[in-house]
Structure 1
Amino acid sequence: MGFIKEFKEFAVKGNVIDLAVGVIIGAAFGKIVSSLVEDVITPLLLNPALEAAGAKNIQDLAWKGVTYGNFLAAVINFLCIAIVLFMMIKGINRLTKPKVAPEPAPAGPTDDQKILMEIRDLLKSKNIS
Structure 2
Amino acid sequence: MQYLPETLIAVAILLFLTIYFLAKKPLFPRKRNALLTTFKEVRARSLSLQEALLKHIMDHDALNENLTGTLTYGQVLKQIKKDHITYLSGKKQARILVTNNIFKLNKTQNILKELDSSLTKTERDLNSLKK
Which of the five TM-score ranges fits, normalised by the shorter chain?
Answer: 0.3 to 0.5
**Which structure has more RCO (C-alpha within 8 Å, separation ≥ 6)?**
2
Larger radius of gyration: 1
TM-score by length of 1: 0.32
